[in-house]
Structure 1
């Protein structure tokens, strides 16, 4: 026996209102029409759902037994409808980032995502360092590659890989000749800093927690990766970066060297915690196929 979803909605309205007239008003149907549809449902089921009284109604034991399942069925259908509408509406997924991701990670994720959501176009959006959430905070990005320790309220993150930090410095800097540079040797070097809006991320790339209370020397402030390396080439300072980004941002006249004594850098995928759209889920699933990678040499 197949029961129409409409009949279940009518049943739930009467069960919640315990009054046919109020339930009819809520459903925008006439009271006689509602009563007729409830009778049709009862005939199909083979038992009464309500005990009719002069001024109201109450659920019969059979009605009480049916109520949880009917509620769950209607709720599940509404969720399915919403998911289908969102899938139809979302034809574009905006992926925010502040630096090149590289490491083959983005390319592989895009391929898997395309297999799951062939009708959804991916747009890559480069966001400057004044927004450490890479567009998630203002809704201009749907998902984003971010560097920890970014973890604003209502934003979820998952670490994708962990790498040691290296320093990029001019070729003619005296420290460039070392195979590995203790961070203590960099304390007096001017640093290229992220803008103050980057907050904890600015502190992380200045390694303020490893300075034992000494304030960093700021040689310049940069809002994007290209600005950072232009400042280094101009001799304005040095900068810390993740080891995997050293090759991505290789420039003539700039050397990178591992730095000892610092915690690793972590790249994460981030999304708004309440965002359950299919395209967002598909992108996160595509990235989940990549096992978190950790460079053991950093420890």
Structure 2
């Protein structure tokens, strides 16, 4: 009988959360998919791992016995993957960075130049990841580090260095009633249809819907978008409006759309993120290559 490490990871996460809903959010999968995999694992092991009803989830005795062993197996496998990855990276001298949007702001050019001074034999490779994964591939181990927007799901699981802190703006079609305005207070936008990130983006989805300034009023979500191209196509079509960082308003300026500053909102934050257990010196050099965050005006 062969048990997939993926199923053990699902089991451990569910055991830690004692909630299929929270575990599914941590794993970036749907709750039905998680429940199916856990049932499959129970079938393979011929035991019940969880006692569950509508209000609670608890480990059974076999589940409690499996938990420390599963954790050790996963830890050993993660170490093996890191060792293999380190050897491959050393041979190829490539550091992969995840991105969900264009970074702009002259940031990548500055980082490349300063990183090359420290690591002249290394190169930085960019990987674009849709917003279903707000960590831009970092949570799944697909990249070495990532430029991400805050707040992230499970943000405490990452080491972060904020590199840009900017006012939030709003983008809209050029014939929108905002077209003659030079700025707008967020309170004026509460009844507007918004474009939203996927639900798996969690707190980041809420941030770009302005949930922190709605006073409990739910947003009107016109459509869900997975990347910048989808977003601005929807803006051009007049499907809805969208909040974005000031720096990205310049990056994604397109014919037929406009963007203006929004008052009454906290700033957006762009950060470099990496895993806290990744102690390779090359990552320290990458972090050292980041420009200093500008002082508040």
Length-normalised TM-score, structure 2: 0.68
- Structure 1 85/99 Cα, relative in aligned 2: closer, same or farther at 3 Å? closer
What's the CA shift for 1:115? Answer: 1.9
**Structure 2 counterparts to residues 135-150 of structure 1, below 5 A:** 135-150=137-152
What's the CA shift for 1:107? Answer: 0.5
**Structure 2 counterparts to residues 42-81 of structure 1, below 5 A:** none
- Structure 1 204/294 Cα, relative in aligned 2: closer, same or farther at 3 Å? farther
| Residue of structure 1 equivalent to 2:94 | 92
- Structure 1 191/295 Cα, relative in aligned 2: closer, same or farther at 3 Å? farther
| Residue of structure 1 equivalent to 2:288 | 285
1:262 pairs with one of 261, 265, 280:
265
| Residue of structure 2 equivalent to 1:108 | 110
CA distance, structure 2, for counterparts of residue 175 and residue 88 of structure 1 = 52
* Counterpart contact for 1:163–1:294, Cα < 8 Å: no
SS in 2 for 1:132: coil
Q: Which has the higher mean CA deviation after the structures are superposed, 192-201 or 178-187? A: 178-187
CA distance, structure 2, for counterparts of residue 97 and residue 260 of structure 1 = 27
* Counterpart contact for 1:154–1:274, Cα < 8 Å: no
CA distance, structure 2, for counterparts of residue 252 and residue 168 of structure 1 = 12
Paired residue total: 211
What's the CA shift for 1:85? Answer: 6.6
Unaligned runs of 5+ in 1: 1-83
CA distance, structure 1, for counterparts of residue 180 and residue 192 of structure 2 = 15
Length-normalised TM-score, structure 1: 0.68
CA distance, structure 2, for counterparts of residue 273 and residue 86 of structure 1 = 20
SS in 2 for 1:201: helix
| Residue of structure 2 equivalent to 1:224 | 227
What's the CA shift for 1:92? Answer: 1.1
CA distance, structure 1, for counterparts of residue 255 and residue 138 of structure 2 = 34
Q: Deviations over 1:248-271 (max 9, x none)?
A: 000111010111100000111100
Q: Alpha carbon RMSD of aligned pairs, Å?
A: 1.7
* Counterpart contact for 1:87–1:279, Cα < 8 Å: no
What's the CA shift for 1:279? Answer: 2.0
2:190 pairs with one of 187, 192, 200:
187
Larger Rg: 1
CA distance, structure 1, for counterparts of residue 204 and residue 185 of structure 2 = 21
Unaligned runs of 5+ in 2: 1-85
2:131 pairs with one of 114, 120, 129:
129
CA distance, structure 2, for counterparts of residue 134 and residue 122 of structure 1 = 15
What's the CA shift for 1:88? Answer: 3.5
- Structure 1 85/137 Cα, relative in aligned 2: closer, same or farther at 3 Å? closer
1:171 pairs with one of 170, 174, 182:
174
Q: After TM superposition, what 4+ stretches of structure 1 lie above 4 angstroms from structure 2?
A: 84-87
